[in-house]
């Protein structure tokens, strides 16, 4: 059953993750250049969260949007809310916690709109499951934000299938943004991705290269996966990173991987994976390398 495709936002196949933007240290002009280059590669969707960079990343990106009129209409903005960090930028927060109340979501969206210097967010996600969530209140808040034109689409992140279903029954969600890589395969095993297939929601995938550990970790699992990626990369004439992205893209839920790199070459390696369809044996070879054993 595909209940949500009509409402789905048009995200690029590969999404650019902005988590580390503050560390990259560019000025507004440098960010404009970087975004333009990403757009040329076909990456038009940019993943934010209110908390990224200690509540600074959205504003840095917003400065770039303000410096380049017209840029906003060529890209999609994704952002998240619901995590409260103990941080000087939020002096009222005493405890690292989650908040999905109407007051918090509404205030967070208004702050994101102001920081990003835009009149609309294309996709808003609840960043983490709030154990105290009132799903009716969240659904009503989402409906109000959509009616006000402040947010066009809604989803969740890091939610279990049960948590997603609780909200989806009340308000149509378009994604669950979850972790998946050959080093972190829980979403393949706990029903998360099957639920996306069932509901017609395209998942977004964070840390597709396991924060770089796929290439830097000395652990046994990473070494096995690296050897398999290298073998497949040589066979297909692409880089190991491209094979890792192709492994994610091969899933029938049609995931959108989110890159985390500042390097344009790394973005190119991700986009190249959209032209590579792995055979099932190649896919399972990577699964086997990760698990350290064959399928039963």
C-beta of residue 66 within 8 angstroms of C-beta of residue 28? yes
Residue 33 touching ligand NAP (CB under 6 A): no
Provide the CA 131 distance to its chain's centre, in angstroms.
22
Catalytic residue selected from 52, 55, 98, 245: 52
Write the CA distances from 5 to 33, 130, 136, 168, 293, integer angstroms: 33, 26, 23, 13, 37
Residue from the set 14, 18, 138, 180 that interacts with ligand NAP by CB under 6 A? 18
**Residue range at the interface with ligand NAP (CB under 6 A); choices 59-67, 105-113, 166-174, 204-212:** 204-212
Tell me which residues in 207-226 interact with ligand NAP (CB under 6 A).
Answer: 207-212, 215-216
Other beta carbons less than 10 A from residue 230's beta carbon: 13
55 binds ligand NAP (CB under 6 A): no
Min separation Cβ 280 and ligand NAP, Å: 24
- 289 Cβ neighbours under 8 A, 6+ residues apart: 182, 221, 224, 225, 227, 228
Nearest position to ligand NAP, beta carbon: 260
CA distance 81 to 55: 11
**Which listed residue (158, 163, 176, 253) binds ligand NAP by CB under 6 A?**
158
Q: What's the closest the beta carbon of residue 78 comes to ligand NAP, in angstroms?
A: 8
Q: Which positions from 225 through 244 interact with ligand NAP, judged by CB under 6 A?
A: 241
Residue 48's alpha-carbon distances to 18, 77, 284, in angstroms, are 5, 7, 32
Q: How far apart are CB 15 and ligand NAP at their closest, in Å?
A: 8
Of 124, 258, 285, 286, the residue at the interface with ligand NAP (CB under 6 A) is 258
Establish whether 245 is a catalytic residue. no
Residue 296's alpha-carbon distances to 151, 192, 291, in angstroms, are: 45, 21, 11
Residues 6+ apart with CB under 8 A from 285: 228, 232
Residues 65-124 that bind ligand NAP (CB under 6 A): none
By CB under 6 A, the count of residues binding ligand NAP is 24
Using an 8 Å Cβ cutoff, are 221 and 292 in contact? yes
Site string for ligand NAP, 260-289 (x = CB under 6 A): xxxx--x-----------------------
By the 8 A CB rule, do 48 and 116 touch?
yes
Residues lying near ligand NAP in the complex (CB under 6 A) are found at 17-19, 47, 157-158, 177, 206-212, 215-216, 241, 258-263, 266
Tell me which residues are annotated as active site: 52
């Amino acid at each position: 059953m595909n209940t949500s495709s009509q409402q789905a936002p048009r995200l690029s196949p590969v999404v650019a993750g902005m988590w580390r933007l503050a560390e990259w240290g560019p000025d507004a002009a440098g960010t404009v250049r970087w975004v333009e280059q990403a757009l040329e590669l076909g990456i038009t969707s940019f993943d934010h969260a209110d908390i990224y960079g200690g509540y600074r990343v959205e504003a840095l990106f917003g400065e770039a949007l303000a410096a380049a009129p017209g840029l906003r209409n060529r890209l999609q903005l994704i952002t998240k809310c619901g995590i409260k960090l103990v941080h000087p930028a939020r002096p009222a927060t005493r405890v690292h916690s989650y908040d999905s109340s109407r007051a918090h979501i509404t205030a967070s969206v208004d702050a994101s709109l102001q920081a990003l210097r835009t009149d609309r967010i294309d996709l808003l996600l609840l960043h983490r499951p709030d154990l105290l969530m009132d799903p009716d209140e969240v659904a009503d808040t989402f409906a109000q934000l959509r009616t006000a034109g402040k947010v066009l689409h809604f989803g969740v992140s890091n939610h279990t299938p049960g948590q997603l279903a609780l909200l989806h029954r009340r308000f149509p969600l378009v994604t669950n943004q979850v972790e998946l890589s050959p080093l972190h395969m829980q979403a393949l095993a706990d029903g998360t991705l099957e639920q996306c297939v069932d509901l017609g929601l395209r998942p977004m995938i964070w840390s597709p290269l396991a924060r770089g550990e796929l290439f830097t970790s000395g652990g046994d699992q990473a070494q096995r996966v690296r050897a398999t990626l290298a073998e497949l990369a040589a066979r297909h004439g692409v880089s190991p990173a491209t094979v890792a992205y192709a492994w994610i893209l091969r899933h029938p839920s049609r995931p959108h991987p989110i890159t985390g790199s500042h390097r344009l070459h790394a973005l190119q390696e991700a986009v190249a994976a959209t032209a590579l369809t792995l055979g099932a044996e190649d896919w399972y070879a990577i699964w086997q390398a990760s698990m350290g054993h064959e399928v039963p």
